């Protein structure tokens, strides 16, 4: 049965009529057509679906759309500046080659930005532990770890 869900997405109000069994990620991808958020598993481990909900990185594949009623959700599409300038974390991923196929990347960036808010100068160990919930099959994490460190420092410096 269809039910209405309303939320803010990337700063703008949005609403959709969805089946009650709709996941937040399905709402984002299929109904709102923001396809930057990806689905890479069905057991909440790959983290490709990570978005920010009310300021915290969460896995949108493990949340019902209805649980996001009234929430402020930010997806990867809302991260860069309106003029297209990359966020410092995005820029750090580019500079440090922290992505290859790009599929896990939006989830990595969304998690990294949230992590960096409380870790302005993280250690390698802290970064690796913060990536517990994000899988990448391409990069071997080496450059992702470097990128997140640099991105966090850039965010702290207000770049």
Q: Which of residues 26-45 bind another protein (CB under 8 A)?
A: 29, 33-45
* CA–CA gap between residue 57 and residue 18 (Å, rounded): 23
Q: Is 3 in the site for another protein (CB under 8 A)?
A: yes
Output the smallest distance, CB 100 to another protein, in A: 4
Among 4, 6, 11, 20, binds another protein (CB under 8 A): 20
Q: Which of residues 64-123 bind another protein (CB under 8 A)?
A: 64, 66-67, 69, 75-77, 79-80, 84, 86, 90, 93-95, 97, 99-106, 109, 111, 114-115
Q: Is 149 in the site for another protein (CB under 8 A)?
A: no
Q: Is 57 in the site for another protein (CB under 8 A)?
A: yes
Residue among 82, 92, 105, 77 at smallest CA distance from 157: 92
Is residue 63 within 8 A of residue 44, CB to CB? The reply is no
Among 32, 50, 73, 155, binds another protein (CB under 8 A): 50
Output the smallest distance, CB 8 to another protein, in A: 17
């Amino acid at each position: 049965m269809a039910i209405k869900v309303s939320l803010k997405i990337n700063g703008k109000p949005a609403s959709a009529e969805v089946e009650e069994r709709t996941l937040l990620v399905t709402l984002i991808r299929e109904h709102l057509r923001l396809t930057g958020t990806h689905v890479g598993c069905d057991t909440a481990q790959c983290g490709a679906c990570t978005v920010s909900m009310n300021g915290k990185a969460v896995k949108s594949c493990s949340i019902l759309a209805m649980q996001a009623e009234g929430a402020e959700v930010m997806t990867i599409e809302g991260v860069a500046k309106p003029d297209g300038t990359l966020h410092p974390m995005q820029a750090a991923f580019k500079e440090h080659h922290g992505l290859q196929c790009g599929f896990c990347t939006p989830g990595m960036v969304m998690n990294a930005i949230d992590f960096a808010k409380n870790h302005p100068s993280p250690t390698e160990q802290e970064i690796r532990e913060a990536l517990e919930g994000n899988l990448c099959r391409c990069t071997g994490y080496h450059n992702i770890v470097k990128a997140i460190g640099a991105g966090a420092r850039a965010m702290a410096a207000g770049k």
